Structure 1
Amino acid sequence: MIASPPKELISNPLQLALEKHSEHLKEYIGLLSPTDNKGRYLHYDQLRYRFSKDLDKDLAWSIVKTARLRQLKRILPIGDSNELGRFFLTPNIQKAISETDRNTTTASLEWMCSKIGEEKHLEYLLNDLVEDEAISSSQLEGAATTTEVAKDLLKRKRKPRSLDEKMIVGNFKMMKFAWENREKDLTPDLIRDLHQIGVDGIDDDNYTPGVFRKTDDVKVVDAEGNVVHQPPLAENLKARLKKICSWVNESHHDTDNRDYFHPLVKAIIIHFLIGFEHPFRDGNGRVARALFYWYMFKNDFSAFRYITISLLLKNAPVQYGKSYLYTESDEMDLTYFIDYQCSIIIRAINKFKDSYQRTLKEAEEFNVWLWKSGLYKKLSDKQQKIFQVARSGVAHFFTASNVKENLGCSYNTASSALNGLVDMKLFKKEKQGREWVFSMVSQKKILKDWNAKK
């Protein structure tokens, strides 16, 4: 549990500090800022340990809050109490906006692809990264399937064998639905459809796919079973969702809009609102994260198809939960949630850029080896792409079906390319069910076999 801020702020806190705590006035004045000296927007639960022991904690908090209230931007009323949601543009949020603008637009993605040039196996990298969010989002919700098994499930398009695998396939479909419906306005029906696609057939009695909750027995609990969030009443849920949709469909990023804020900030707020409202009996987190992506797609940030935030949220679920609690316990100050999500997004974008740079470097090194060995001339264009992808570790297993989809060729061409790699002793294959699964031979064996031919 967290420590909630004092319910009542001290009026004229600096005046009180001057009159009754003049010996520490300089320290109190130093607190008159929305962030600390490191640019962090800290909750009372965190700040209470950082205040000097000589300071009155309630007075110190009132001074911090006074500075924040002057600069908080109004957003919209939230929940059945209509408490006004607000936020402050922290340095971290500004950095995330900058990174998003520079690295994730459709134009920047096209530029990255052009840098690869002849090494078009970036397509394979991107298709692989599309799967990461579906897998990680499921694991964040409790799916026990390993990432390797999950990737094999999606790449081979085999039928899921367990509830966990059904969850992963559902999330993958949900992300695909978000991309394909990015041009549409948000409506309660679209939210419902997203949930239906994501959870249908997993545990219908528990999830009730595509059906908004009608009761108030849905609660969010922590690991110890303590209730940490009681969603607003179900009675006016549809009306509140309509208001949220109306707000989402309003353009806040037009340059002449007095209420301007960046699409990234708005996408994160949508994420929060769905999590807060908890419109379904289960699966709300997945829907909330999918709608974050939907809004980024809608605003032409196409690279987010390949950037997974759930992978990093999964590694720190406690902080993710606290970012919700901090907002709810401090007068619906959304800064805590937005700022935390932005820290995750910055790391996710950097991970995406690192994957691209590593792929580019490996492609260049591989081409040098291919040319020097003389093997380059013996491989077809498609074989080069498949081999490069396998060697980089982006994908480990290949079938004629997934090569056909990723490279945009016929099934026979894909099959011929894969079998040709087997004939050259670069790949091996084995029968799994009704299909052949191909994988690259170890680099050590390739070099050994290649040198033996000389």
Structure 2
Amino acid sequence: MKNIAKAPVWDGPIDEAGVESLLVLARKYRAYDDKGRYLHWHEFRFRPTEDDRKVAWWAVKFARLQLLRPIGLAAEHGKSFLLCMPDPMQRILHRIDRMCPLQDEELFSDEAPLTVNRYDKLYYLATSLLEEAITSSQLEGASTTRRIAKEMLREGRQPRNKSEQMIFNNFELMQAVKENGQNPLSLELIKEFHRIAIDKCGENNAVPGELRLTDDVYIEDLEGEVFHTPPKATLLERRLERLCRFANMNHDGEGGEANFFLHPIVKATILHFMIGYEHPFADGNGRTARAIFYWHMLKCGYSVFEFISISRLLNLAPLKYFRAFLYVEDDDFDLTYFVAHQLDVVDRAVQGFLDYVKEKKRERLEFTSQLKSLGAKGDFNYRQLELLRSMRKHPGKPYTAKEVAFDYNVSANTAREDLKRIAQFGYAVEAQVAGTKERAYIALAGLPSGQSDLRRAV
């Protein structure tokens, strides 16, 4: 990532004509552009304009100053972090809220518009945990392929290298986040998330669960350029305690310790940013930061985020992610840059998940219809139907109870009963896994002979 163009600062008095020009432009320019984007000077300087670019930029800054406010957190040298919420960002938040049922029962119920159920819930949960574990690790440099990572987690085998260990740890981390979703944030919990994240795979002499003790830490982008030097190690414990107090405050705007409103998604994003800014550990800060984002979302009732991976989208455009961090510190600690970037990511992640759910429902209905048209009658439950659909896609593939249990987030006994049921009606045959005591079920092609009537299936 090439160095960004530094935002020009107000460089002293200007003549009367300049003042008049600025006042005119202040009525012309808003905090965001015509496409709703909150642009940094690095991007703004290329915007077509008939006006002097620097004066136009100062006009934009003037519009932002009317909206910016401190949030109660400060940089190392005391300068306040600021935030504004212009209309385009408010619209995104409203859209996300409309898409996100606060209770997953509203999504995973027979009465829900998408008509998915608890079996789908378990399947989507396992899928999303896997996706977030893989892509969050890839953001930090893990190079294991998705196929190998899935096989490792499905088979329950031990990681064979550092990349696999990172993915294994992130899978464990996301489960720990869910387990602690209703607990307050504390220094101990931050350390625990970090301990899980870098166990057996830390770099830079990082100790799992321990704050860094030195100041020889700086943040590089993917091309090795330094773009942030974090606060001194001696300040970390006090600063993190302050961050925890901020995280645990009630920001509903109805009084109390925090006397202003912060939308839960915005607050989760700020926590994400602040862990990156503080950089309290020698390694694993990004994974810990994203875990804390999820922690806050679940704590505030956005349980649908159990099923949504933000790292998948961050991994598609990592330079934008890094630049969003950089813009904040470059332009007077204006957090709006990072919040705007993350809102776009969350918006697309939620919409992508809902589209995925709809597509899975369509595929299931289509598959059920195909079975009936071929003479197969009866009712498999949703999980068994999904498993059967997978088997018909992959004839000859062996399926074990351990792998099915992982894929559908159920016990091995439940998975084994599902496989036996499918084999009972002739869609698979049971076989011994070579060299083990484990049994596998081999998917067969086509409809089983003499078994077109499946009315006995539950």
TM-score range, shorter chain: 0.7 to 0.9
The CA distance in 2 between the partners of 1:60 and 1:306, in whole Å, is: 43
Question: In the superposition, relative to structure 1, how do residues 161 and 88 fare at CA in structure 2: closer, same or farther (>3 Å)?
Answer: same
Q: How many angstroms apart in 1 are the aligned matches of 2:81 and 2:248?
A: 17
* Comparing 34-43 and 271-280, the one that deviates more: 34-43
1:228: how far off? Answer: 0.9
Change (3 A) 1:411 1:349: closer
42-51 vs 123-132, greater mean Cα deviation: 123-132
User: What aligned pairs does 1:29-44 form with structure 2 within 5 A after superposition?
Assistant: 29=26, 31-44=28-41
> How many Å separate the matches in 1 of 2:297 and 2:75?
24
Deviations 1:27-75 (A, max 9, x none): x3454311112221100111111153x5333322211111101111321
Distance 1:391 1:252 in 2: 51
Partners of 1:67 and 1:156 in 2: CA distance: 56
Letter in 1 for 2:179: E
1:224 deviates by 3.7
Moved segments of 4+, more than 6 Å: 405-410, 449-454
Give the 3 Å change call, closer, same or farther, for CA 324–408 of structure 1 in structure 2.
closer
Distance 1:31 1:371, change over 3 A: same
In 1, are the aligned partners of 2:26 and 2:62 still within 8 Å (CA)?
no
Q: Which moved more, 1:124-133 or 1:177-186?
A: 124-133
Cα distance per residue 1:348-407 (max 9 Å; x no partner): 0111001110111112222222333332338577633522465699xx974313545776
Is the 2:364–2:386 contact (alpha carbons within 8 Å) kept by the matching residues of 1?
no
Structure 2 residue aligned with 1:58: 54
C-alpha distance 290-379 of structure 1, shift in aligned 2 (>3 A): closer
CA contact (8 A) 1:137 1:286 kept: yes
Separation in structure 1 between the aligned mates of residue 239 and residue 94 of structure 2, nearest angstrom:
32
Residue in 2 that maps onto 1:375: 376
Q: Is the contact made by 2:203 and 2:283 (CA closer than 8 Å) also made in structure 1?
A: no
Contact 2:73 2:243 in 1 (8 A): no
Q: Give the CA deviation at 1:112.
A: 3.6
Matching residue within 60, 66, 69 for 1:70:
66
Is the 8 Å Cα contact of residues 113 and 120 (structure 1) preserved in structure 2? no
Tell me how far apart the structure 1 counterparts of residues 435 and 135 of structure 2 sit (CA, whole Å). Answer: 27
> CA contact under 8 A between 2:119 and 2:383: conserved in structure 1?
no
Residue identity opposite 1:384 in structure 2: L
In structure 2, C-alpha distance between the alignment counterparts of 1:157 and 1:198, rounded to whole Å: 18
Deviation at 1:450, TM superposition (A): 6.4
Match for 1:285: what amino acid?
A: G
Alignment of 1:157-172 (within 5 A): 157-172=156-171
Residue in structure 2 matched with residue 241 of structure 1 by the alignment: 240
How far 1:118 sits from its partner (Å)?
A: 6.9
Of 96, 100, 105, which residue of structure 2 is paired with 1:100?
Answer: 96
Following the alignment from structure 2 to structure 1, what is the Cα–Cα distance between the partners of residues 419 and 382? 12
In structure 1, C-alpha distance between the alignment counterparts of 2:77 and 2:414, rounded to whole Å: 61
Query: C-alpha distance in 2, partners of 1:433/1:271?
Result: 47
Q: Is the Cα–Cα contact under 8 Å of residues 219 and 228 in structure 2 kept in the other structure? A: yes
1:288: which partner in 2? 289
CA distance in 1, matches of 2:104, 2:393: 23
Question: Shift in Å at residue 259 of structure 1?
Answer: 0.7
Give the superposition deviation at 1:146: 1.2
1:92–1:339 CA contact under 8 A, matched in 2: no
User: TM-score scaled by structure 1?
Assistant: 0.87
The one of 43, 48, 52 aligned to 1:46: 43
Aligned residues of 2:68 and 2:84 also touching (Cα < 8 A): yes
Q: Which residue of 1 aligns with 2:4?
A: 2
Determine if contact 2:212/2:233 at 8 Å carries over to the other structure. Answer: yes
Query: For residues 339 and 392 of structure 1, do their structure 2 counterparts lie closer, same or farther at Cα, with a shift above 3 Å needed?
Result: farther
3-state SS of paired residue (1:76): strand
Q: State the partner residue of 2:456.
A: none
Per-residue CA distance 1:173-220 (angstroms, 9 max, x = gap): 111111111111111111001101111122477331111011111111
Aligned equivalents of 2:312, 2:205: Cα separation in 1 = 25
Q: Give the residue type in structure 1 aligned to 2:165.
A: K
Distance, in Å, in 1 between the alignment partners of 2:19 and 2:203 is 62
> Hey, what does 2:303 align to over in structure 1?
302
C-alpha distance in 1, partners of 2:87/2:434?
52
- Counterpart of 1:110 in structure 2 is 106
Cα distance in 2 between the residues matched to 1:50 and 1:380 = 56
Distance 1:100 1:109, change over 3 A: farther
Structure 1 partner of 2:446: 446
Cα offset for 1:433?
6.5
- Secondary structure class of the residue paired with 2:82: strand
After superposition, give the CA deviation of every residue in 1:205-242 in whole Å (9 maximum; x if it has no partner).
73311110111111112344321111111111111111
SS at match of 1:295: helix
Gaps of 5+ in 2: 454-458
Note the C-alpha offset of 1:341. 0.6
Output the CA distance in 1 between the equivalents of 2:11 and 2:393.
Answer: 57
SS class of match (2:378)? helix
The one-letter code matched in structure 2 to 1:64 is: V
Contact 1:320 1:340 in 2 (8 A): yes
Q: Which has the higher helix share?
A: 1
The answer as to whether partners of 2:181 and 2:299 remain within 8 angstroms in 1 is yes
Q: Which amino acid aligns with 1:79?
A: A
Aligned in 2, Cα 1:306/1:411: closer, same or farther, shift over 3 Å? closer
Counterpart mapping for 1:359-438 below 5 A = 359-377=360-378, 383-388=384-389, 398-404=399-405, 411-412=412-413, 414-422=415-423, 424=425, 426-427=427-428, 431=433, 434=436, 435-436=438-439, 438=441
Q: Distance in 1 between matches of 2:186 and 2:118?
A: 41
